[in-house]
Amino acid sequence: MLINEMIVDENDMGFVPSLGITFQLNDTAKKIIELIKEGKSKDEIVEIISSESGKDWREVYIDVNDFFQKLRVYGLIDESGN
């Protein structure tokens, strides 16, 4: 899973060395990446972010699902979310 290679710097830039690509990340994206690296499932990530942010889980689910789709497009996770 290439997401495990991602390095996030102090300017919130995520870099994947093997692909040579860089991403600008917001706080939520950084949190999602951190949780993926910890082995959390998409549902666990939704629950954690919803709890920490106070947002409705349905709204968070849509945002997390969209982010997972972007990670798949870039080949950072596979279809199962790994």
The whole domain housing 68 covers: 25-74
Query: Does any domain span residue 50?
Result: yes
Query: Does any domain span residue 10?
Result: no
Total structural domains within the chain: 1
Residue 1 has a pLDDT of: 79
Query: Does any domain span residue 16?
Result: no
Query: Does any domain span residue 58?
Result: yes
Query: Does any domain span residue 29?
Result: yes
Residue 51 has a pLDDT of: 98
Residue 81 has a pLDDT of: 63
Q: What secondary structure does DSSP assign to 4-67, as a single string?
A: GG-EE-TTSEEEETTTTEEEE--HHHHHHHHHHHTT--HHHHHHHHHHHH---HHHHHHHHHHH
Predicted model pTM: 0.89
Query: Does any domain span residue 63?
Result: yes
Query: Does any domain span residue 19?
Result: no
Query: Does any domain span residue 42?
Result: yes
What are the mean pLDDT values of the chain's consecutive 10-residue runs (82 residues total)?
92 94 95 96 98 97 96 88 60
Residues 40-64, buried b or exposed e (16+ Cβ, 10 A)?
bebeebbebbbeeeeeeeeebbebb
